Structure 1
Amino acid sequence: MKIVVFGTGFVGSALVREITSRGHEVTAVARHSPTAAGNVLDPAFVAEVSSGADVIVSALPASDENVTALLGAAVASGARLGVVGGSSVLPMVEGGPRLADTPGFPAWLLPRTEAHARVLEILGSAPTGVDWFSLVPAANFGPHQPGTRTGAYRTSTTALVTDDQGRSVLGVEDYAIAFADEIDKPATHRTWLAVGY
């Protein structure tokens, strides 16, 4: 498959490594990429780099502009769109409040939460012919918790994935495995899927 990954930071670079290792043709797009340098807000560039793509991946910061640009590219190219999600918009337990609405959630993260919430709203209003998925990592995920590759993960369609002690944790390489698995064997359509240990 031809896969275009927008964003080569902490998560995007892990996705590029994992997807490439599976034999797919991967184009990594970033502002200063040696292979495909450009801006997601440049419609001509996005159309050119995503032409003929089977899957477009957004590993960019959550924003209305970024997701709208890549959604438009998916519509134009007929590609599936995969988006790196944000844990704070999901509940820790089924039926519970969003992680962002629980006591002690850092106020400085609320703008990021609302950005991820808007991304899901925009994706939800996409034309019915567009196949998209948002893979949401665990609450404890990021450069501060890179983890060790295990090849194992669990998923949930109702809440964040937690262990027996209520911890929600995931390493970036196992997140990349889960994302690549969803690309290889599509099972999540026009909705989010949470992943964790």
Structure 2
Amino acid sequence: MKITVFGVGFVGSALVRELNSRRHEVIAVSRHPGTDVPSGVVAVSGSVHDRGFLQEVTAGANVLVSALPACTGSNALDVSSAVLLSAAEAVGARLGVVGGSAVLPLVEGGPPQAGTPGFPAWLIPRAQAHQRTLDLLRSAPEHLDWFYLVPAAEFGPHQPGVRTGLYRTSSTAQVTDEDGRSTLGVEDYAIAFADEIDSPKTHRTWLAVGY
């Protein structure tokens, strides 16, 4: 498959490596030139808001992937996601979005984590951007296929984890272990994301991933 990945940071770079290892044709799009990518991956720099550039890097793509940050100045994730939804529709591609755990409940039937007491105030804008993005995806035309893959609550550059090849999924709440912790390493998240691309099971909804 031809896959265009937008955003080559902590998560995006792991996705690019995993997809490349599965012999997909990968284009890695970043805002800055000189991005280090594996051999065989095409690295390009540009903006999703440059219409001509966007048409060029998405031409013939089967899947578009957004690994873009939730908040970057005035360009929040829902803004870039709206652009990528239109691009996906134009080329008949599926859209996969790297999600945010705070929009999901900790337990089935509970409130979103962002609405629970003690949720850090500095994370609220990020959670709001993810919620707007999810709402946007849900309002997309029914012929557009997308998935929003949510990593665990304890996930990020501060604890990249080690590759295990194992993960569990949930469609009702965050994935937690027997101690109630929601954790995941970035390489195993990339495996789960690539598995969903290779064998689509999640259509027009979110799926949580964790150990």
**Aligned pair 1:11/2:16, yes or no?**
no
**Aligned pair 1:108/2:122, yes or no?**
yes
CA RMSD of aligned residues (A): 0.8
Q: Which runs of 5+ in 2 are unaligned?
A: 35-42, 71-76
Identity %: 71
Structure 1 residue identity aligned to 2:16: V
Whole-angstrom distance in 1 between the partners of 2:33 and 2:27: 10
Q: Secondary structure at the match of 2:11?
A: helix
Equivalent position of 2:97 in the other structure: 83
Equivalent position of 1:96 in the other structure: 110
Q: 1:180 aligns with which of 174, 179, 194?
A: 194
Structure 2 residue identity aligned to 1:24: H
Equivalent position of 2:26 in the other structure: 26
Superposition TM-score, scaled by structure 2 size: 0.92
How many pairs align? 197
Whole-angstrom distance in 2 between the partners of 1:182 and 1:61: 21
Deviation string, structure 1 residues 72-105 (Cα, Å, up to 9, x no partner):
1100000000000000000000001111112211
**Aligned pair 1:165/2:179, yes or no?**
yes
Whole-angstrom distance in 2 between the partners of 1:78 and 1:150: 34
Q: 1:41, 1:65 within 8 Å by CA — same for their partners in 2? A: no
Q: Following TM superposition, by how much is the alpha carbon of 1:33 offset from its aligned partner in structure 2, in angstroms?
A: 3.8
Query: Where do 1:5-154 residues align within 5 Å?
Result: 5-34=5-34, 35-62=43-70, 63-154=77-168
Q: Which runs of 5+ in 1 are unaligned?
A: none
Superposition TM-score, scaled by structure 1 size: 0.98
Q: Secondary structure at the match of 2:110?
A: coil
Q: Following TM superposition, by how much is the alpha carbon of 1:134 offset from its aligned partner in structure 2, in angstroms?
A: 0.3
